[in-house]
Amino acid sequence: MTVATSTRTTIDTSGRHYVIATDGSCNPNPGTGGWGVVIQLREGDEVLKQRALAGQGEVMISTNNKMEMTAPIMGLARLIELSTPVLVLCDSTYVINGITTWLPGWKANNWKRKAGPVENQDLWQRLDTACDGRTIEWRKVKGHAGHKLNEMADILAGNASAGKYPRGELSVKKLHPNWFI
């Protein structure tokens, strides 16, 4: 069941579920972009597994919005248990509003808005596909406010945009070994 476009969706976090914290960075904006994701598999409050992922954008010149969207796409793509519910934590109002509110209208209007074509349509389509068949709760968190997983994702995204992870996950593990369980 796809529930990514419902703001009322609440998953049961007392059982087995994933928590994905995502962030994107682009400094300057536009400029070299990076994304970061922390994935936890939990049983209730107990963290069973945790990994951290980061990467640069597919093109060297990107935007912050593109990196904010790329992070959940990449995080959802790494989930092994496809039927396990997912809580996505994101500090981007653009991503949260897009996936929970605007996406159904865009699709119904053939990816057009009153002001013209939907920006980043390719990424919205990839994110929509990544959500297909999953039970997902999208939760907005305040950035730079001490939320541990969001802060980790922010560090990953910033470092990725600065090119600090040239070997991908191997570089992330070397710089942040305690972020892997």
Q: Of 17, 33, 75, 154, which residue is the catalytic one? A: 154
Q: How far, in Å, CA of 47 to CA of 178, rounded? A: 13
* Residue 120: HSE in the Cβ half-sphere, 13 Å Cα cutoff: 20
- Catalytic entry in 34, 36, 68, 137: 68
Known catalytic membership, residue 154 = yes
> Which entry of 23, 55, 98, 137 is annotated as an active-site residue?
23
- Which one of the listed residues 45, 46, 58, 144 is annotated catalytic? 144
Contact 67, 54 (CB under 8 A): no
Catalytic residue among 17, 33, 34, 91: 91
**φ, ψ dihedrals at 98, nearest 5°:** -60, -50
Q: Is 153 helix (H, G, I), strand (E, B) or coil?
A: helix
91 is catalytic: yes
Query: Is residue 102 a contact partner of residue 111, using CB atoms and an 8 Å limit?
Result: no
Q: What are 60's two structure tokens?
A: 């060297």
Helix, strand, or coil (residue 139): strand
Q: Which of 24, 55, 57, 98 is catalytic?
A: 24
Residue 147 designated active-site: no
Distances (CA, A) of 55 to 70, 92, 95, 152: 9, 18, 18, 14
Q: Which residues are catalytic?
A: 23-24, 68, 91, 144, 154
